[in-house]
Structure 1
Amino acid sequence: MSTVSIVIPSYNDAEMLRGCLAALAVQTRPPDELIVVDNGSTDATAAIARAAGARVVTEPRRGVLRATAAGFDAAGCEVIGRLDADSRPAPDWTARVAAAFEADATLHALTGTGSFYGCGRFWRFVGRYLYLGGYFWSMGMLMGHRPLFGSNFAIRRTAWRAVRERAHVDDPHVHDDLDISFILDPDMGVDYDRALLVQVSARPFANVAGFQRRASWAFHDIALNLREVGVLRRRAEGARGRRRRRARQAELAGRAAASDPA
């Protein structure tokens, strides 16, 4: 099976982090490496991480992409999983990630969705189907492939290293999942697994100011990346990349069948 590092950026999120680490402690297939990136916290983030057996990487420059990049750069396994401090991965999360990458050599990134906790039924519906559903649909239209969801995705370490220099790490006002999604090469296979599940906090809906800040960062990130490569070109290159991937999958399947003694 592919080895899996899990990276969790955290800024003053000690109690949420405790819950995430507890969920990772009961995985049916434990991660091979657990990294918590302390993004300048003043609470017990680092102590809680170490107590759970995680390696702590310090990134004092504030910014979620900076923190994620520091964790990804430090990861030593073939596949790098990405969770948020408030993520609660299902017990089979690591196992599903490892199996998916092991089964498909053309897979470079994998993502799933989330359900929201800490809110009522109305906001759970809004979060799952409008907030996340709208994100996957709209960003997919702009990028020409599935976007990654920051609370629930994994990427091959080789893929990260290939695109690392294009990430806008020096900009503190970008979302890491959005930025990484935009900079993936057209030939990099990105899959969506509806059974790859996490629960995430309903904090995005807690106050208007917080939601506006997230939205402003998203629009900033979109504009930044679309200035570099426009929508039509992205969609055309994405379509060609998917065709090349299907051809590669067929080639690999043919080789496997030819080498099967049965």
Structure 2
Amino acid sequence: MKNTPEAQHAYREAIAHAMEHADMHARMLAGGHVGDEHREMHVAHACRSLDMADDLHRVMCDSIGEGLKRDEEGEEFAVPGGIENSALAQRFSEVATKVGKLPRSLRAVARQELGRVDADLLEEKLMGAKTDRAALLALKQQAVESAKVVDRAETERAIEAALDERLITPADAARMRGIDPATKTAASSPWQRSRVERFISERREGGPVAPITRPGAERTVPVADQTARPQVSGGVPIRFTEQRGATAAEAASLASDVAAKLGLDPQKMQARMAASLNG
């Protein structure tokens, strides 16, 4: 035997295999599965397996010597119930004490987890575990994608809010989204949310940038004063339809009323009206 950790582990696995073989025959005897005519045969098989385990352990001890370390974890074999007070039980206990804890085999794991060694049951359990694992991975991936969508939405909301507060320019917003402001094409990966928030926080300390006109933003448009009186050019004469039978006093009164409404000189209006009537 080579004095290496790998060789020591290989020997322990071989010892565990021999002990498991002896344990199998002992359980068959203890469970009443062996007839009297075959009892000695199974006892002999169990004893040979115990002798093999003992021999392998002795070789390992002779090769490694004081450097041999017992495993702190693993399977520890014990005498199966039902064969106590027998030569096989005594030999089994003796060898099991020598070898100590050994690496667990697949058979031992199946017995511990399922309660019995059953290949079909083990396969069914593995299939179910694989299906559950696949479903769990799919849910995990969905959660990751959903988190990315939410994070991107929050990032966009932060960019839009910064634009509304005039903390950044449209060109800054384009760069944050990974777009070249000049070509309007994708130039790099969008900024992470933490980077966007850090940049906006720094900009907020300096106050708003120059006024920005954003598409769709509310603007103040000058509106003409609806209460202002219309101005009439003084060089354009105002003519009235000739009224037959109107007196001079009525014409003067009408001219005064019109002049008052238009904000003109009453005397000039009377003179023009008189000229129009006389013409």
After TM superposition, the score normalised by the length of structure 1 is 0.21
Greater strand share, structure number: 1
Q: Which has the higher contact order (CA 8 A, sep 6+)?
A: 1
After TM superposition, the score normalised by the length of structure 2 is 0.20
Greater helix share, structure number: 2
